[in-house]
Amino acid sequence: MSLVPASKAVEYLALLRAIESNRPSQQRLFSDPYAKLFVPPVLKPVEVLSRLGFMNRFISWIINKHWTGALSACSVRTRLVDVMTVNTIQDEGINQVIIFGAGYDSRALRLLLRRRIQFVETDHPEIQRTKRKKLEKADPAAHNASQINYLSVDLHSQKLEEILPFIFQMEHYKTLFIWEGVTNSLTAPVAPIAFEYFQRFKPGTIIIFTYVDNEVRKHPEKFPGAVNVTRLLRRGNEQWNFGLNPAQLDGFLASYNMQLLHDLDIDSIRKMYYGEEKAAGMKGYEYYHVAMAVVK
């Protein structure tokens, strides 16, 4: 099994990041100049049109009409994880970042960091081949200069200690894990295995991860737009396989010798970046959370 069972999800996310990046610099929440490389041909005209201001607004409206909150949720989630990553690297002395299910995101290339960091990206081999090929073609100098180790993953047939050998746990490493948009697409037995692996790293290891409220798996009709998202996932042979109860997150992490540092739902993150008034008019993806924990 791959961390992302089908490549459709990572392609859709690449499109959303490209649309956000195509907004005027004073309006966009982040800039991902590589996202456009991974937009599939059938959606490429959408990305190109989104480079025009009025078309960007129209396309955003269309997306929100059909998939309520998808674009704003992706934008604020990406921005928050970016900020968390940069701040954690600077404040905690992180020198190794391991990204589970990196997909087509390019944090290792696009984040402005004060020093060189070792990045390790894990994902399905096909996704990684496509990613490396397109990055090397588009920006060979940046890609070749980066410190990125690519590791292919099949969590159903491989053990994490085989994928990520002991060398990544050596004493001189202070590690940050990023597990964005992956926990919900794994089968339930696999996700705890990952948390068991995280806890083997030395105290002070940080994990940034996203998860969905378990309630959306049982009753998607309770959340604006969730029924349409569920249908879209099913068309790509994906589904919400794993969720957590936010009220029980502290206990869940404690069982893996971890302490919860932050847990924010999409509503709260929208307010952070769009302001109370604008965020009040945004709906969708309320079940989505960004959290941070530390190994004790």
Q: Is residue 275 part of a domain?
A: yes
CA 76 to chain centre: 11
Q: Is residue 39 part of a domain?
A: yes
Q: Is residue 63 part of a domain?
A: yes
- Give the C-alpha separation, 164 to 205, whole Å: 15
> Whose structure tokens read 């060398």?
167
Q: Is residue 240 part of a domain?
A: yes
- Give the C-alpha separation, 201 to 23, whole Å: 40
Which segments in the chain show pLDDT lower than 50? Answer: 1-6
- Predicted pLDDT at 28: 98
- Predicted pLDDT at 257: 97
- Predicted pLDDT at 131: 93
- Give the C-alpha separation, 4 to 14, whole Å: 14
- Predicted pLDDT at 145: 63
- Predicted pLDDT at 141: 75
Q: Is residue 48 part of a domain?
A: yes
CA 253 to chain centre: 19
- Predicted pLDDT at 27: 96
User: For 97, which DSSP code?
Assistant: E
Q: Is residue 2 part of a domain?
A: no
User: For 146, which DSSP code?
Assistant: S
Token pair for residue 224? 């604006």
Number of domains in the chain: 1
- Give the C-alpha separation, 3 to 180, whole Å: 11
CATH of residue 133's domain is 3.40.50.150
Q: Is residue 3 part of a domain?
A: no
User: For 260, which DSSP code?
Assistant: E
Phi-psi category of residue 261: left, alpha or beta, with phi > 0 → left and psi -120 to 50 → alpha: alpha
Domain containing residue 141? 8-295
CB of 30 closer than 8 Å to CB of 78:
yes
CB of 84 closer than 8 Å to CB of 208:
yes
- Predicted pLDDT at 2: 42
pTM of the model: 0.91
Q: Is residue 57 part of a domain?
A: yes
**Helix, strand, or coil here: 253?**
helix
- Predicted pLDDT at 192: 81
* Alpha helix stretches (DSSP H) within 157-237: 160-163, 190-198, 215-218, 226-235
Range 163-172, long-range pairs (CB < 8 A, 24+ positions): 163/122, 164/98, 164/120, 164/122, 164/197, 168/96, 168/98, 168/120, 169/200, 169/201, 169/202, 171/202, 172/95
- Predicted pLDDT at 5: 42
b/e map of 3-21 (b: 16 or more CB within 10 Å)? Answer: bbbbbbbbbbbbbbbbbbb
